[in-house]
Structures are given as structure tokens and as C-alpha cells.
């Protein structure tokens, strides 16, 4: 990788010849395949933007000309060209982030990795430059065709087109896919040429001819298909789409021809006005395992064999997503009113299984969470029971719709929030840590948090049976927790996991945090402190039995993998006060800050959300040495002296 080794900054690209640029692109692809296969990450999207990114950095002067990457998961090549080639700890604690990150480099501008926001950012930045007479600076927004399904994109375009005297370049990276193939009217428009008779004849004829040569022929066909697509779409009159916006449209151009991309970008730059540049690319370009993956073309991968693309260590464990996916199909078998809704994430959210069996009952609305939620309200009004499956972080985008369209109208809509809590390597924008705090302010909402697979099936069935209010079922990323049965269930559905003779501490655990609570209980028992552990199952609203149990204990500790501020613990404390119960509540959860990328365990350790740390604090609270202070119950609780002696003994040991 002689050429790549010499690239320390975008300026090093300036003097490279056309042949050297082609060679550099291949070196970058080889680098990405080798490095990302070791760590995991967004491989397919980055393989598709190699030439485009090189061209962008040759035509524009980053960071003086800021690049705004929509979603940001396609920024690996950008990182490489801006002096960040150490991918050894990509998406790991202390290593490079999987998305743009300002503290990494001055070349990274926007850190949010939620789709469809780039044009609004670009509009604001370009307007700021205009207001300050910085007419020699350009703003470049790189937006995927999948993000064009998001409403913010069109809101931004409306404002951009109102003032056509700014240096704003909008690059549409059109690979025909978001996670999966892009859907909707916009997708049909951008790819309309593929349905024309001339294109179909070329495509089918070429495919038939090259298939005679077996696997090599099929590989050759996939390689030339992208180039032909770019050539033929020149006749698609795509400019008509943007004619009413009073914006110049350039393209489509083959995104894997650096010379052509440079030429069209320079044309856009010379206009000194907002310009849309349509670039055709191939997701997973140059890597056969990615191109052959029809599902998402290696949008995001774990650790894989760089040659075969196979997972290095196939796991026998079952994911939360898989359990949900299977159970939804089972429920749909018995309830024809159930309909699934996804926002361009059919497979990641587990709706693919239902789509395979009941394709007419699964709707993919594209990257449009707000529309998904309000459409679900309409479906509920029409007699269906929608199940909206999204990552927990993305429900933030549709809060108004949950509140005003679903809840206000008493719509029976179930929201299934995957990747709830700390997700790990994807970093601040992808942690699903705000849902409990945000959603519980919605009137009449009911939120379930299963502790294991059995409870996920159980609570999902309960959720879809509710037709007069929104319901939520949330679970984390990864493998399901080991099943653990309760000793009893209260009349209002709370699972009591363990009880002690001394009612010192009531541990209220949210979902999978039950396992941590059981460990804490054992640690407290070693200190002479009795603890009761409960799993509310439905954490919102707070069950009456939780209040009754709290009345009988010296202190309550809630444990959740969401933010403490406004979390489940806060709600429990409020409900206790409303009921006249003065038991102190220790609200244990995540701090109200943006958490860096790391493993779930590493993040828990960093924020003190561990059994050892929590148990130590509870001992101090029971002893009256730390607030909130447990109230004395001398008749039932262990004496402070006995606790102190046990604590001293542990310290000496």
C-alpha cells in the first residue's frame, strides 16, 4: 500500500495522476476489508464511496469547506484521507469512532448519525457563511438516496431553493439502498430508467450471456451493471424532479470514475449557487461477499473472514431480535389484525420473518419514523393493530407523533424498541438510553421491559392485546439473558424474584437488569442486609404492588439502563409520594450525558452501574452514612451495628 502510506492529509491527493488515483482507490478498499473484518463496522457503505470521497477531497478544501455526511457511517474513507488510518480499535473504547467525531479531527463537522438531517445542517452553515461574507467557502452535504425518504430532507430543500445565491453542493450518493433496497416514490423515480425497455433488454441480455460463464461471468455482470446504470440514467430526465426547486441538477455520474466525479463537482463548484449532484455508486463495491449479500450488502458486519466474508465465530446464542421476530409471526398467525411497520430496517428489527410469511401485512416506509408512527395511528383507526419496530434511539425522532397522533387518539399501537439502553460500539447517537424518560410522559402509555426470552414473548402478547392506548416493549442489543423464574407474581402482574426475612432494601429492576439485582441481593445478604428483588414487567405505569412493597421496606433502589433523569426511578419516587409513602428512593441508572463508544460492560463500569458499586452504596445508605438514607425499622431490619460489623469483616477480608 505504497500510495496509501503516503497520504497524511487531503493535500497529498493533489499531485496524484489518474492512474495513481485508481490504484489508491483499490488500496483503500483492501485496507477497509482487512481492517473492518477484524473489528466489525459499516463495511458495505464505505466500499461504495471510495472514489467519491477521493474526488470530494481533491475538489474541495476540507475543513474550510465543511463536509456534512448524512448518517455518517460512510465516513471511514474520509477518516483515512484526513490522517486517521489507525483502525486497530475502530468502534472500541479509546479507538476511532464509527461516525464523524469532532474531537477526532477538525474535518468532522456533524456527529449525529440519524438520517436526513444533513441538508438542514448544510443550509444553516451555508447561511452563516453568507451572513459573514465568506463567499469563498463551500458547504458539501453527502446524502444517500435512502435518506431522501426522510421529511427533513425536503423541508431543507424548500429553504435552500428559496435563496439560490449560496455555495452549497448537495451530493446524492445513490446506491439504491438504505439498509435494504430503498423504497417509495423517490426510489422509483431515481431508478426509473431501470424499468425502461432499453435498459431491461440490455440488462437481461447481458445477464443471460454472462451467466453462461458461471460464477466469473455473474461477477463481471455485477461489475458492469453499475457503470451501465450510470450511463443509461442520463436519459432519465431526473432534472425534472428538481425543476420546481429552482436548483441546478447535474448527473447522474458514475461514482466509481474519479475523473468524471471530479469534473461534475468542479462544475457544481463553479456555479456559486446551490447545486444537486447525482452520483451512482455500488454498495459493497469491489468485495464479492458484500455484493452477493442481497439483504444489506454488508451494511454493518461483525468480525468476519476477509476472504470469505463469513463470521469468524458463529454464535449459537439467540438474540433478542430473533425472539421478537419469531414471536411476532406466531402472534400474526392467530391475529389477522396485526401489521408490522419498519422504517427501512426490515431485517435489523426482525420484521423480515413476518414479511416473508405475510408480505402484505408488513410495511416499509423508508427512513421516515415520523410518518411510520402517524401512519400506524391511521391503521389503528382503520381496525388494525400496528407493531412499529425501530431502534430505541430512533423513536426520539417521532416523539410528537407518539404523543399527538397515537396517544391523544387512544390508538392501539405497539412500539417495539430494539437496541434499548447502552448499545456499545456505535456511540452516543445510537445508545437507546432516552426512551424510558421521554416516553413515560405520554399519557396512558404502557411500557414493558422483559428480563428474558420467555418474558419477551409474554409481554409482547400482552402489548398487542391492548387496543385503547400505546404500548411499548423494549429490549437491549445482543443475546437474550438467561431465563430466571419468579418466586411469585402479584395480582397486578409484578414478578417477585426473591424475598428476604428482613425487609431492608427493595430492588426494582428494569428488564435484563434483574440479573444484576439478584447479584446485588447476594452481596447485601453477605453484609446482613435483606433485599427483595422485583421485576415490574410493565415498568410504566407503576404497579400498586410496587407501592405496597415499598411501604414495607427501609429503602427502594430502582435499577435501569436508561438515564436517571426522568427515568423509571423518578416515576416510582413520584408515585410513592402521591400515595403518602415516605420510603427513600435511590434512582440508579445512566447519567444525563452522551456516552462514548465502548462495550456495554465497559460503559457500565465507567458510570458505576455495576453490582459491586451499587451494593457498596446501598450498604452506606442502610447504615445512614449516605443519602438517600434508609429509614429505621428496628423491629424488622438488621441493626446498624451488625451491618457495620459485617462490612468491617468484608473490608479486612
Q: Would residue 3 be called left, alpha or beta, if left means φ above 0 and alpha means ψ between -120 and 50 degrees?
A: alpha
Q: Specify the pairing of strand 446-448 against strand 538-540.
A: antiparallel
Distance CA 463, CA 601 (A): 30
Q: For 358, left (φ over 0), alpha (ψ -120 to 50), or beta? A: beta
The residues that are catalytic are 283, 369, 397
Which grid coordinates belong to 275? 447545486
**Strand locations in 236-371 (E):** 248-254, 275-280, 338-342, 362-364
Residue 64's CB is within 10 A of a number of other CB atoms, namely 11
Q: What share of the chain is helix, strand, coil (3-state, %, to 5)?
A: 45, 15, 40
Residue 407 DSSP label: I
- Lookup: cell for 515: 440479573
Q: Is the peptide bond before 541 cis (omega within 30 degrees of 0)?
A: yes
Alpha helices in 307-391 (DSSP H): 320-334, 352-357, 369-381
Q: Are β-strands 168-174 and 275-280 bridged in parallel, bridged antiparallel, or unpaired?
A: parallel
The answer to whether residues 324 and 475 touch, using CB atoms and an 8 Å cutoff, is yes
Compute the half-sphere exposure of residue 57: CA atoms within 13 Å on the CB side of its CA. 25
The answer to whether residues 275 and 247 touch, using CB atoms and an 8 Å cutoff, is yes
DSSP secondary structure string for all residues of 145-170: GGGGGSHHHHHHHHHHHH---S-EEE
Strand order in 139-144's β-sheet?
67-69, 139-144, 168-174, 275-280, 248-254
Phi, psi of 454 (to 5 degrees): -60, -45
Three cell numbers written together for 616: 457498596
Amino acid at each position: 500500500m505504497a500510495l496509501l502510506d503516503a497520504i497524511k492529509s487531503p493535500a497529498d491527493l493533489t499531485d496524484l495522476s489518474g492512474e495513481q488515483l485508481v490504484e489508491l482507490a483499490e488500496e483503500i478498499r483492501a485496507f477497509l476489508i482487512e481492517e473492518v473484518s477484524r473489528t466489525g463496522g459499516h463495511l458495505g457503505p464505505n466500499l461504495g464511496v471510495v472514489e467519491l470521497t477521493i474526488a470530494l477531497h481533491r475538489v474541495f478544501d476540507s475543513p474550510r469547506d465543511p463536509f456534512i455526511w448524512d448518517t455518517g457511517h460512510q465516513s471511514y474513507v474520509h477518516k483515512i484521507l484526513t490522517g486517521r488510518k489507525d483502525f486497530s480499535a475502530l468502534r472500541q473504547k479509546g479507538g476511532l469512532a464509527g461516525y464523524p467525531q469532532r474531537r477526532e479531527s477538525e474535518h468532522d463537522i456533524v456527529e449525529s448519525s440519524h438520517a436526513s438531517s444533513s441538508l438542514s445542517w448544510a443550509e444553516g452553515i451555508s447561511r452563516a457563511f453568507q451572513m459573514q461574507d465568506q463567499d469563498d467557502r463551500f458547504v458539501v452535504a453527502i446524502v444517500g438516496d435512502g435518506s431522501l425518504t426522510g421529511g427533513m430532507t425536503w423541508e431543507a430543500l424548500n429553504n435552500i431553493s428559496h435563496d439560490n445565491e449560496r455555495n452549497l453542493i448537495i451530493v446524492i450518493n445513490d446506491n439504491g439502498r438504505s439498509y435494504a433496497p430503498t423504497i417509495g416514490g423517490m426510489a422509483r423515480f431515481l431508478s426509473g430508467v431501470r424499468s425502461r425497455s432499453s435498459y431491461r433488454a440490455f440488462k437481461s441480455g447481458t445477464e443471460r450471456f454472462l451467466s453462461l460463464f458461471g460464477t466469473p461471468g455473474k461477477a463481471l455482470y455485477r461489475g458492469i451493471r453499475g457503470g451501465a446504470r450510470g450511463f443509461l440514467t442520463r436519459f432519465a430526465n431526473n432534472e425534472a424532479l428538481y425543476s420546481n426547486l429552482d436548483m441546478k441538477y447535474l448527473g447522474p455520474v458514475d461514482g466509481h470514475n474519479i475523473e468524471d466525479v471530479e469534473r461534475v463537482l468542479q462544475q457544481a463548484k463553479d456555479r456559486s449557487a446551490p447545486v444537486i449532484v447525482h452520483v451512482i455508486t455500488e454498495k459493497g463495491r469491489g468485495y464479492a461477499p458484500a455484493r452477493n449479500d442481497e439483504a444489506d450488502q454488508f451494511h454493518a458486519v461483525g468480525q468476519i473472514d476477509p476472504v470469505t466474508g463469513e463470521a469468524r465465530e458463529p454464535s449459537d446464542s439467540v438474540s433478542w431480535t430473533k425472539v421478537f421476530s419469531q414471536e411476532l409471526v406466531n402472534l400474526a398467525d392467530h391475529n389477522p389484525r396485526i401489521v408490522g411497520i419498519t422504517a427501512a430496517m426490515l431485517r435489523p428489527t426482525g420484521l423480515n420473518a413476518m414479511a416473508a410469511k405475510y408480505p402484505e401485512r408488513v410495511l416499509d416506509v423508508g427512513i421516515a419514523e415520523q410518518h411510520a408512527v402517524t401512519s400506524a395511528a391511521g391503521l389503528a383507526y382503520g381496525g388494525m393493530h400496528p407493531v412499529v419496530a425501530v431502534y430505541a434511539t430512533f423513536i426520539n425522532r417521532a416523539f410528537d407523533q407518539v404523543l399527538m397522533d397515537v396517544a391523544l387518539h387512544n390508538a392501539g399501537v405497539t412500539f417495539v424498541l430494539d437496541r434499548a439502553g447502552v448499545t456499545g460500539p456505535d456511540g452516543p447517537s445510537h445508545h437507546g438510553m432516552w426512551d424510558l424518560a421521554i416516553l413515560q410522559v405520554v399519557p396512558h402509555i404502557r411500557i414493558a421491559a422483559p428480563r428474558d426470552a420467555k418474558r419477551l414473548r409474554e409481554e409482547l402478547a400482552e402489548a398487542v392485546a391492548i387496543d385503547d392506548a400505546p404500548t411499548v416493549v423494549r429490549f437491549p442489543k445482543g443475546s437474550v439473558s438467561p431465563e430466571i423464574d419468579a418466586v411469585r407474581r402479584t395480582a397486578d402482574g409484578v414478578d417477585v424474584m426473591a424475598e428476604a426475612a428482613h425487609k431492608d432494601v427493595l430492588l426494582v429492576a428494569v428488564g435484563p437488569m434483574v440479573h444484576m439485582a439478584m447479584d446485588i441481593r447476594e452481596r447485601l445478604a453477605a453484609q446482613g442486609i435483606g433485599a427483595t428483588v422485583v421485576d415490574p414487567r410493565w415498568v410504566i405505569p407503576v404497579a400498586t404492588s410496587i407501592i405496597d412493597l415499598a411501604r414495607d421496606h427501609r429503602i427502594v433502589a430502582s435499577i435501569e439502563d436508561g438515564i436517571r433523569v426522568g427515568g423509571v426511578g423518578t416515576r416510582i419516587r413520584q408515585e410513592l409520594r402521591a400515595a403518602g409513602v415516605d420510603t427513600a428512593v435511590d434512582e440508579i441508572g445512566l447519567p444525563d450525558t452522551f456516552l462514548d463508544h465502548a462495550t456495554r460492560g465497559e460503559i457500565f463500569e465507567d458510570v458505576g452501574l455495576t453490582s459491586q458499586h451499587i451494593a457498596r452504596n446501598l450498604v452506606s445508605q442502610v447504615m445512614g452514612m449516605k443519602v438517600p438514607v434508609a429509614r429505621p425499622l428496628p423491629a424488622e431490619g438488621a441493626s446498624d451495628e451488625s451491618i457495620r460489623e459485617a462490612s468491617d469483616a468484608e473490608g479486612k477480608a
